[in-house]
Structure 1
Amino acid sequence: MIPVPLVRRLIKLKFKLKRSKIFALAFAVILLAIILALLYMYAENVNFFTALYWAVITMATIGYGDVTPNTLLGRIIAIFASIAGIATFTAFVSILAEYFLSGSIRRMMGMHKVKFKDHYIIMGRGESVESALLELKDAISNKQAENRPIIVVLPDENERKRLNLPEETEVIIGEFTNRETLERVNVRDASHVLLALDDDSESVFVTLMIKQISKAKVFVEVLKHESVHLLKQAGADRVITSRTLTGRLLASSIFEPEVVDVIDDITTALGDYDITSIKVQEMEGKTFREAFEALYPRGLFLLGYAKDKIYLIPPLDEKIPPGAKLLVIRSTR
C-alpha cells in the first residue's frame, strides 16, 4: 500500500509541473499565432489585426471563411497554420484539462490552498472540532456571529472520515505544526483560530507559530489545568479547560442530574435552550429590573451583563452601563 503522504507529494509535484507546462504552451501558442499573422500579413498585404484574426481562427480550425488567402504563399502558410494549430491547441486543451483535474484531486484530498480573508479556522481532532463547527455555523445562521468562511484543518483523511462534518465543509489536510499547512489555510489573514488538538504541548507550539505570523484571535481547548498559564504566555486569547468541566459535570450527575441536563442544553445552540450574549442599545441606562421586564416578553431571560467582567444577577436597581453585553437564555424551538 502506497503511503498517503507520498501520494500527496507526488500529486503536488505533478501539479507544479503541469502548471509550468500550461504557461509554456500558452506562450508557444501566442507566439506561433503572432508569427503566422506576420507571415500572412506579408503574403496577403492585409493589416496586422486582420492577419492575427485569420491566424487564430485557422489554428483553432474554426474557419469562418470571411478571410481567405488569395496567393500561393498565403495558402502554404494556411496549410502550415492548420497543422500547427491542431497540434498546439490539442496539446494545450489536454494539459489544461489535466491541470483542472489535478486541482479537483488536490481539493478532494485536502491539499489545496485557500485565499479567504477574515475567515474562521478550526484545527484539531475528535468531536470538539465537529461540535465547534456546528455551533459556529448555527451562530452565523442566527446572526450571532459574523458570516465568514469556515476552514477545518484535520491531521489526516481518517480523521475526516471519522467525523460527521457537513458535506459543504472546506477541509484542509495537513500537520498542525507544519508552517506550510498554516500558509495553505492563509492563517495570516484569518480573524479567529480555534484549536482542539488533544495535546497541550502541541497546542502551545501551534499557538506560538500562529501568533508569529498572524493577528488572529486564538482560542484553545486545553486538557490540563497547568497548561493554561503556558498557553496564555504563548499568546492564546482564551483558554478553555475542557476536562475540568467534564469532571465537574460527571460528579454533579450523582447528586444534581437536572443541573447537568440544563448546562448540557444551554451550552449548545443545538439544544432547546441557548445561553448567549446580545447587545441591545435601548437597554443601556435602564435598571436590571426594567431590562428584565422589557426582554422577558421577547422570550429572553436576562441573567446579567458583561462589561469589564461578568455580572450575574445584579441588584434590581443597578443600571446597565453603556456598551455592556446582556447575558440571556433564549428558546431555540
Structure 2
Amino acid sequence: MIPLPLVRKLLKLQFKLKRSKLFALALAVVLLALVLALLYMYAENVGFFTALYWAVITMATIGYGDITPSTLLGRIIAIFASIAGIATFTAFVSILAEYFLSGSIRRMMGMHKVKFKGHYVIMGRGESIESALLELRDAISNGQAENKPIIVVLPDENERKKLTLAEEIEIIIGEFTNKETLERANIKDASYVLLALGDDSESVFVTLMIKQLSNAKVFVEALKHESVSLLKQAGADRVITSRTLAGRLLASSIFEPEVVDVLDDITTALGRYDITSMRIPEVEGMKFGEAFNILYNRGLFLIGYATDEIHLMPPLDTIIPNNAKLLVIKSTM
C-alpha cells in the first residue's frame, strides 16, 4: 500500500506540472492564433481583427462561413488552422479538466490552500477540536461571535476520521510545525487561532511560528500548569489549562456534584443555560442593583461585569462603568 504522505507529494508535484502545462498550452494557442491571423492577413488582404476572428473561429472548428478564403494560399492556411486547432484545443480542454480535477482531489485530501481573510483557525487533535468547533459555530449563529469562515487544521487523515465534522467545514491536513501548513491555512490573514495540540512543547513552538507570521489572537489549551508562563512568553493571548480544570471538577463531583452540573451546563452554549458577556449601553452608569432588576425582567441574570478586571457580585450600589462587558446567565431554551 502506498503511504499517504507519498501520495500527497505526488499529487502536489502533479498539480504543479499540470499548472505549468496549462499555462504553456494556453500561450501556444494564443501564439498560434496570432500567427495564423497574420498569415491570413497576407494571403487574403484583410484587416488584422477580421483575420484574428477567422483564425479563432477556424481553430475552434465552429466555421460560421461568414469569412472564407478565396486564394489558394488562404485555403492551405485554413486546412492547417483546422488541424492545428483541433489538436491544440483538445489538449487544452483535456489539461484544463485535469487541472480542476486535481484541485478537487487536493481539497478532498486537505492539501489545498485557502484564501479567506479574518477567518478562524482551529488546530489540534482529539475531541477538543470538535467541541471548540461546535461552540464557535453556535456562537456565530447566535450573533455572539462574528460570522467568519472556520478552518480546521488536523495532523493526518486518521485524525479526521475520528471526528464528526460538517461537510462545509474547510479542513487542512498537515504538520502543525510545518510553515507550509500554516501558509495553506492562510494564518497571515486569520483573526483568531485556537490551539489544542495535546503537546505543550509543540504548542509553544507553533505559537511562536504563528506570532511571527500573523497578528491573529492565539488561544491555547495547555496540559500542564507550568506551561502557562512559557506559552504566554511565546505570545499566546490566552491559555486554558484543561487538565487541571478537569481535575478540580472531578474532585468537586464528590462533595458538590450540583455545582459541577451547573458549570458543565453554563460553559457550553449547547446546554440549557449559557454564561456570556455582552455590552448593554443603556445600563452603563446605573447602579448594579438597578441594572440587575432591568435585565432580570428580560431573562438575563446579571452576576458581574468586566473591565480590566472581573467583578463578580459587586455591592448593589456599585456604578457600572461605561464600556463594561456585563457577565450574565441566560436560558438557551
How far apart, CA to CA, are the structure 2 residues paired with 1:268 and 1:278? 16
Give the aligned partner of residue 53 of structure 1. Answer: 53
Alignment of 1:229-248 (within 5 A): 229-248=229-248
CA-atom RMSD in angstroms: 0.7
1:257 Cα offset (Å) = 1.2
Alignment of 1:100-111 (within 5 A): 100-111=100-111
- List alignment gaps of at least 5 residues for structure 2: none
The one-letter code matched in structure 2 to 1:137 is R
The one-letter code matched in structure 2 to 1:293 is N
How far apart, CA to CA, are the structure 2 residues paired with 1:242 and 1:189? 28
1:299 Cα offset (Å) = 1.2
1:236 Cα offset (Å) = 0.5
1:21 Cα offset (Å) = 0.3
Give the aligned partner of residue 183 of structure 2. Answer: 183
- List alignment gaps of at least 5 residues for structure 1: none
TM-score (norm 2): 0.99
How far apart, CA to CA, are the structure 1 residues paired with 2:236 and 2:108? 31
The one-letter code matched in structure 1 to 2:303 is L
How far apart, CA to CA, are the structure 2 residues paired with 1:229 and 1:258? 32
Q: Deviations over 1:39-87 (max 9, x none)?
A: 1111111111111011111101111111111111111111110000000
How far apart, CA to CA, are the structure 1 residues paired with 2:50 and 2:294? 76
Give the aligned partner of residue 250 of structure 1. Answer: 250
Q: Deviations over 1:135-177 (max 9, x none)?
A: 1111111111111111000000111110011111100000000
How far apart, CA to CA, are the structure 2 residues paired with 1:76 and 1:297? 89
How far apart, CA to CA, are the structure 2 residues paired with 1:142 and 1:45? 69
The one-letter code matched in structure 1 to 2:135 is E
Corresponding residue SS for 2:75: helix
1:238 Cα offset (Å) = 0.3
Corresponding residue SS for 2:14: helix
Q: Deviations over 1:6-27 (max 9, x none)?
A: 1000000010000000000000
| Matched positions, count | 333
Q: Which moves more between the two structures, 178-187 or 67-76?
A: 67-76
1:84 aligns with 2:79: no
Q: Which moves more between the two structures, 154-163 or 60-69?
A: 60-69
1:254 Cα offset (Å) = 1.3
Q: Which moves more between the two structures, 40-49 or 190-199?
A: 40-49
Give the aligned partner of residue 13 of structure 1. Answer: 13
Corresponding residue SS for 2:297: helix
How far apart, CA to CA, are the structure 2 residues paired with 1:297 and 1:109? 51
How far apart, CA to CA, are the structure 2 residues paired with 1:99 and 1:323? 52
Give the aligned partner of residue 300 of structure 1. Answer: 300
Give the aligned partner of residue 286 of structure 1. Answer: 286
How far apart, CA to CA, are the structure 2 residues paired with 1:74 and 1:87? 20
How far apart, CA to CA, are the structure 2 residues paired with 1:184 and 1:31? 34
Corresponding residue SS for 1:298: coil
Give the aligned partner of residue 134 of structure 2. Answer: 134
TM-score (norm 1): 0.99
Runs (4+) of structure 1 moved beyond 3 Å?
A: none
Give the aligned partner of residue 27 of structure 1. Answer: 27
Using the aligned pairs only, state the percent identity: 83
